[in-house]
Amino acid sequence: MKAKEYYLKYKDGLQNNDTFAKSASDMLLEMFHECVDLAKVRHAGSDSALYSILREMNERYNVLSKMFNPPILIPDRFKSMVNRCILPEAKGKW
């Protein structure tokens, strides 16, 4: 999914204080699932192929974060979530 599609899908929930946390976590979870799907489609069997997909998704997240005015998403939050929660051994490699 493109950044614009994520924006259209999650903008209402992200701009509402009551639903921000749930919408943000749902969006990040969907982005993580998209990483897995891309890895399967691209037959990404090496670490470098996975890091490439993660970089691509982080760039998509950063574009998405710039679509909101005022800014409500922190740039590179996708990368920090992956490094902290999903693949801590990948920290500094992508």
- 64 with 7: CB under 8 angstroms? yes
Alpha carbon 49 to its chain centroid, in Å, reads 17
Structural domain boundaries in the chain: 3-90
Instruction: Say if residue 3's pLDDT is above 90.
Output: yes
Instruction: Say if residue 90's pLDDT is above 90.
Output: no
Each residue's pLDDT tens digit, 20-73:
999 999 999 999 999 999 999 999 999 999 999 999 999 999 999 999 988 899
Environment class of residue 40 by beta-carbon count within 10 Å: exposed (0-12), middle (13-18) or buried (19+)?
exposed
Distance, in Å, from the CA atom of 31 to the CA atom of 57, rounded to the nearest integer, reads: 7
In terms of pTM, does the model score above 0.75?
A: yes
Each residue's pLDDT tens digit, 72-81:
999 999 999 9
DSSP annotation of 16: S
- 61 with 10: CB under 8 angstroms? no
